[in-house]
Structure formats: C-alpha cells, structure tokens
Amino acid sequence: MKHLFLALLLLAGSLPAQVTRTALCDPTDPQMVEQYELVSVTAEVVETPTGKALEVVFGHDSDWPHIKFDAPKAYKQIDWSKHNVLAITVSNATDKVVKANVRVDDSPEADGGTHCRQGSCEVVPGSPVEIRFDLSLKQIEGMRGQPRRRGVDATPGLWIRKQWPEIDLAHMTAFQIFMAKPKEGFTLRIHKVELLGIETGKV
C-alpha cells in the first residue's frame, strides 16, 4: 500500500499543467491591420503552410521598429487578471534567427520603464511556436537551494520571464512586438494571440 501511495504521488507530480485559452485578438483578420500602430514596419495577412498569418516586416531605419496593439482598437479585453500568460504564436520564415522583444503596458503613460513589463526571446526558422510572456504577479519559493521564481509551470514554448515591476493586470492597455536597434530588416509572422491560464504553485 505504501508503494502504491508513492507511485500515485509521482504520477500526480508528472501530470501536465492545465491550460485554459482565451483569444485576445485575431491577427489574421485583414480588416484589423489598419488598427495597429506600425513604426518602421509593414504588415499584411498572408497564406502560410499552416493557415493565415499576419506577416510583419521590421525595417531598420528606426531604433525601435514595432507593431503595437492598443485597446480598444486592436482588442477589447483589457482585464487580464484571470490569466497569467500572454501567448503569441509566431513563425520565422527567414533563414536567420529573429530576436523578438515583447512589451505589455497597463497604462497609456507607459514609456518602456514604467507601467510596463518587457522581455525577449529568439525565434529560430521553422514551424510556428508560442512565445509565452509570464504575467505572474507573485513569486513562489523554489526547491531547497534554488532561487525564487514566478509561479507558472514551465510548459513548452519560448518563455519570457524577466523580472520587472508589477503591472495592473485588470487594466492592460497595449502590447507590442519590437526590434531593438536592428542593423538589418527582419520578418516575423503572427498566427494567434491568446491569454492563457496555467496552474501555479508547482516547483
């Protein structure tokens, strides 16, 4: 009986995290393209092997070329408090690694240092992958001898988990994808934008 109990505990610990998904906006809707803020960027909806996507071509004639999604024009749901991850499914159709930077704002006054959180990840050429931006407001203790971390399980995806000032998840006014002082142009395709709820508390 003791061995059976231990086996059940091990099985429970290995179960995948439960994930709930809510669509935030549809980047594949061509009528929405004019609602985005484009700086040194062009964007159009294209057909890809996995379906439609918003193809974003980032120029290099600006320090911070970006595509920005502002509420309520680009999306309606500003209350993200029931979610802890912003998931952006992207693909890199070029032959070079693209370093994508993501920023989320909780106020129109966000300036890159206040009222926002940001981070980056590298997107390699190939099939679509989820960029998962950790929105967690709390941290939990790691295992003995390990550092504290945010309270979301590390399920598959390109995680952005940079330490950053707390944000008001009940009032999220914008998010954007940008390049930082690029020396050449880059192309990224956006397939989906979702809010995820992922169970917390496992270490």
**150-173 pLDDT, tens digit each:** 445 555 678 877 666 789 999 999
SS3 30: helix
**9-68 pLDDT, tens digit each:** 333 444 456 889 999 999 999 999 999 999 999 999 999 999 999 999 999 999 999 999
* Four-way CATH pick for 17-198: 2.60.120.430, 2.130.10.30, 2.20.28.90, 3.40.50.300: 2.60.120.430
**Nearest of 78, 70, 60, 13 to residue 36 by alpha carbon:** 70
Task: Give the helix ranges, DSSP H, for the chain.
Answer: 2-14
Q: What is the CA radius of gyration of the chain?
A: 18
Structure tokens at 2: 């003791």
The size of the chain, in residues, is 203
Collect all residues with Cβ–Cβ distance below 8 Å to 200 and sequence separation of at least 6: 84, 136, 138, 140, 151, 152, 153
User: Maximum Cα–Cα distance for the chain, whole Å?
Assistant: 68
